[in-house]
Chain A
């Protein structure tokens, strides 16, 4: 019978950098009722005029297969790769985390940031902005630790991912 257990998938999508391409991808997800947990996009090849979209999604194996096939048939899409099943990959996210506080809470925030290798990119006498890069889990863990220490706001980039080893997408 059909496997109903869901899994997470990280998709790398190489697209023609043209107007409307992101709307096509997002419209595909909303129109067909697929999840988007995170989506990032930026130009990656100026000469070929290509951008790369990284999408983190969840679904049953059949749905994930559908998402890949549906993306693949969009006209301006060059290549779709499900990094989660096509071998090991690296997935990273960057976050800017603003924490306000004084006294012990401020010292504790700085100490934990150091342990997590977060960098201080802005500081006032009553606040820090930490910059941190890592896996989604690591960022989540750090942000949760900052909550009782005066977390003000967070800005995250979403996941960028790439396959390990010498081969390209």
Chain B
């Protein structure tokens, strides 16, 4: 293989290629086999070069935002960098939401944007936008290539930046003349990056301090996030090893679901605004918190001044700017999660101090009491014509999907259905859960599922959706049809923007301003018009059959599951409240109307 590579490089050194051809050569050298894109005037040279090769497959989306989400789904489910190709102007501006989404959730994406020829830049030319200016705060880094000699180097550098340290999106803006001009391609650069070299090896002293804190703990908790997923499957394996070795309870953030097996006895479920009672109270009451690859997001911490008030906090993160950003920590560890977990395991074994097993056993007894509250309990009436509870729909979907024995990937849109999916789906492995956590982008799930299905053609890919969110990128049903991608869209249809309706009920006196999904399409006919299968369940008796049929057909499906419109997502920590001020389900719930327990005036201004 290396002999061929050398040969290629030698040939290349004597051969001149167009900028567009250099782009494709560099992508191929980066191991790219698929890109998601949409053509336009400024990128025609790249599309022409694509037409004349077979190494890279192009997936034609129906909107540039979807191209980025598809690349995110591809990246998050494979651990590779997702690649996007869009044209100048509106192509680039449409991609911005996807880029910010990838930035917030630390997903490695390289987005190639076309640009007007260099001599027209700044002239308000047709389909011109200041792409590097617009995407500067939307990306980890961006480039405007002004010389064909730089094309190859910049593409390789972009991949390095996208996947190194804390991953993120990188834009390469390519003026049309640069794509046409001839130049040389020098292959993969060997030199390390001049200025960007994030540290990955943890400081041994920090590891020793962390282990000393952990050994001394009486009420510990491991709080693991998306950083563990981004570090690769080995990090998840090591996380489980550490949790089992120490006997500590473990909770995951929304982005971290799958990093620790949900079926494990030591798993407390997700934490945060819609996290479990036991996870949030354990976070509030712990004396040592071991944060691996999570960033103390406001959805997780609730009111900062009341966040886990009596704990020593260990924070392992690859991004130094995540340390002490929201929460003052006692033991920061900078580095890659795999390396940190390996070092913590070794140091725990090497340290001869005995952990306080008696205290930890008492802590577990306390946790079991919280667990016994069964915070995710809901009441599904059993009569065949009873209305379907959304939680029950997800539970049945999980049970029946498990029976297929297929590797299953879940994507979501944003809102109540997303939180229910996070609460009721049991993720056993990393990279199986794709959701828009940081930015909260409605319309994420369908295109992300598309990207996942491209990467895993034989897997079962389900977009758990809401009827409002799905309409935000519904045009991608056409892409599913074109590439015969059997993504299942499972809509929990409550005819409301459910999370908006829930907040209006709890915080705004039940004034449901503009949150009703009026004039909805007939999703069954909609599916059929997009060459997909449309199914509907309106009562409990129909649910299993619909799910069964959805899982059985080898085609894209929209399953319109009409669920209880009034159901709210609990537990809930209202904005501005603390972990121990959680609202529980209808049995425990505070009176409606003026805001439940813990909702303060200050809390109401928060989102």
Q: Is B4 part of the contact surface with A, judged by Cβ < 8 Å? A: no
Q: A16-B195, A73-B165 are in contact. Are A66 and B324 (CB under 8 A)?
A: yes
B354 CB–A CB distance under 8 Å: no
Are A2 and B328 in touch, CB under 8 angstroms?
Answer: yes
Complex partner residue of B137 from A15, A16, A31, CB under 8 angstroms: A31
Are A69's CB and B133's CB within 8 A? no
B-facing residues in A47-96 (Cβ within 8 Å): 62, 65-66, 69-70, 72-78
* Total number of residue pairs linking A and B with CB closer than 8 Å: 44
Closest to B160 in A: A75
> Which residues of chain B are near A2, meaning CB under 8 Å?
328
Q: Mark A3-37, 1 if CB is under 8 A from B, else 0.
A: 00000000000011001100110010001000000
From the candidates A16, A19, A72, A76, name the one contacting B144 in the complex (CB within 8 A): A19
The smallest beta-carbon distance between B321 and chain A, in angstroms, is 4
* Nearest A-chain residue to B325, judged by Cβ: A66
Q: How many residues of B contact A (CB 8 A)?
A: 22
Q: Chain B residue with minimal CB distance to A65?
A: B324
Contact of A27 with B195 in the complex, beta carbons under 8 Å: no
Majority DSSP secondary structure for residues of B touching A = loop
Q: How large is the interface on A (under 10, 10 to 19, 20 to 34, 35 or more residues)?
A: 20 to 34
Closest to A78 in B: B195
- Closest CB of chain A to B156's CB: distance in Å? 14
Contact A62 B195 (CB under 8 A): no
Q: What 1/0 flags go to B129-143 for Cβ under 8 Å of A? A: 000110011001110
Instruction: Give the residue of A16, A27, A66 whose beta carbon is less than 8 angstroms from that of B321.
Output: A66
Q: Across the interface, do A62 and B328 meet the contact criterion of CB distance under 8 Å? A: yes
29 contacts between A and B (CB under 8 A): A15-B195, A16-B194, A19-B144, A20-B136, A20-B142, A20-B144, A23-B133, A23-B136, A27-B136, A27-B137, A31-B137, A62-B324, A62-B328, A65-B324, A66-B321, A66-B325, A69-B320, A69-B321, A70-B321, A72-B321, A73-B165, A73-B166, A73-B320, A73-B321, A75-B195, A75-B196, A76-B195, A76-B196, A78-B194
Excluding A20-B142, A73-B166, 7 further A-B contacts by CB distance (< 8 Å) are A19-B144, A20-B144, A31-B137, A72-B320, A73-B165, A73-B198, A75-B161
* B residues at A contact (CB < 8 Å): 132-133, 136-137, 140-142, 144, 161, 165-166, 194-196, 198, 319-321, 323-325, 328
Give chain A's interface residues, CB within 8 Å of chain B: 2, 15-16, 19-20, 23-24, 27, 31, 62, 65-66, 69-70, 72-78
